[in-house]
Amino acid sequence: MMKMIQTMRWYGPDDIVSLADIAQAGCTGVVTALHHIPVGDIWPVAEIQKRIDQIARYNMAWSVVESLPVHEDIKKRAGNYQTYINNYKVSLANLASCGIKVVTYNFMPVLDWMRTNLKYETPTGALALRFEKAAFMAFDLFLLQRPNAERDYTPAEVEKAKQHFNNLDEEGRKALTNSCLQGLPGSKDHFTPEQVLSLLEGFKGINSDVLRKNLTSFLTEITPAADEHGIQLSIHPDDPPYPILGLPRIMSTEADARHILDQVPAKSNGLCFCSGSFGARPDNDLPGMIQRLGSRIHFLHLRSTQRDEEGNFYEANHLEGNADMFSLVKEAVGLMRKENRSIPMRPDHGHQMLDDLSKNPYPGYSAIGRLKGLAEIRGLEEGISRMMEANELIIKSER
């Protein structure tokens, strides 16, 4: 019986969630990256092996790279983009030589993800990540003060953003700014408004069609190297899955995913299926996406969001919210049985709760909330697997 490879994300030696914690949670794999290496530089074999050895001391494996970041020049196809693509191919070869074969990346311009509240209090007192559209518009229009931002919103939305902004005191405005300018995953630094505005300037004239072509060109260049070395490339969907800050988003829907898989049909070109990111849109049929795209899914992020009609959402408990986790795990188990392979999975964006409330973990990556999510998914998978086995035995006995 093929089962999901249970993993957790680890941000390296400075992460307050230790490798010992992850091992105690029952994981056999770790999802990590070399965050200390500047984006675009080659990942040397020595540094990769050092990280592998750190993880191996706890009887776990480095199962998935998340992420091998794509330099902004590649997304714009400008500046030193060809050098960065060549470096990317060398890093893939180096990872493969060390036995690491699943590499996650994203193609979101400027900001990898966006939340307006990193400490949203749930009814139980646990803290979750939340995206509130009015808060984001207030940040964009009145705190970041992006030039011509009002063109992206209706008059009613601008008025709603103004009301939200006016209701914030100085502390609230500071908290909103800090949340929206959270740095890249694994980074201790926040963006400054000036940095973001400068980066946005570099994407002027790049619409969704241009960005999609640039992604296709990037994959056309790197997939031969990935195929040669047995690498599984896994693109992460947009988070949130719609345009922000005037930037295009091109990995938000099933149609987006299907387009890039069809454009670059290489064996290595695949998906990181994040049920939280895709699930923040009500028009994404999550179980159906696993059914239809399953053979190209190389990595699973299992989490659930609770949406509302205004486009707001927060990270729900793993078995609650809008994602039907039973159906998703059932589809994943069926896919693994059908294709006779195990797929790495990690619980994602757990609540900050219990003893972790007094700590300062990376947003969404406290230990106890993810442990709770992992335990729930583990039990769900076990129950579904046994149910399938029992059904098969009944069918055989009736023949």
Please give the positions annotated as active site: 236, 274, 301, 348-349, 365
First and final C-alpha spacing in the chain: 22
Cα dihedral sign, 109-110-113-114: negative
Sorted by sequence, the CB contacts under 8 Å of residue 398 that are 6+ apart come out as none
Give the three-class secondary structure for 248. Answer: coil
140 closest CA partner among 83, 193, 188: 193
- Pairing label, strands 29-32, 61-66: parallel
Angstrom distance (rounded) from CA 278 to CA 296: 16
- Pairing label, strands 5-9, 29-32: parallel
At 232, phi and psi to the nearest 5? Answer: -105, 110
Angstrom distance (rounded) from CA 87 to CA 44: 10
Give the three-class secondary structure for 245. Answer: coil
Q: What is the DSSP string of 256-296?
A: HHHHHHHHS--TTEEEEEEHHHHHTSTT--HHHHHHHHGGG
Residues in the chain, overall count:
399
Angstrom distance (rounded) from CA 194 to CA 187: 18
At 345, phi and psi to the nearest 5? Answer: -140, 145
275 with 236: CB under 8 angstroms? no
Residue with tokens 């659930």: 304
Backbone dihedral region of 6: left (phi > 0), alpha (psi from -120 to 50 degrees) or beta? beta
Q: Which residues of 357-391 are buried (b: 16+ CB within 10 A; e: fewer)?
A: eeeebbbbbbbbbbbbbbebbbebbeebbeeeeee
In the DSSP assignment, the letter for residue 94 is H
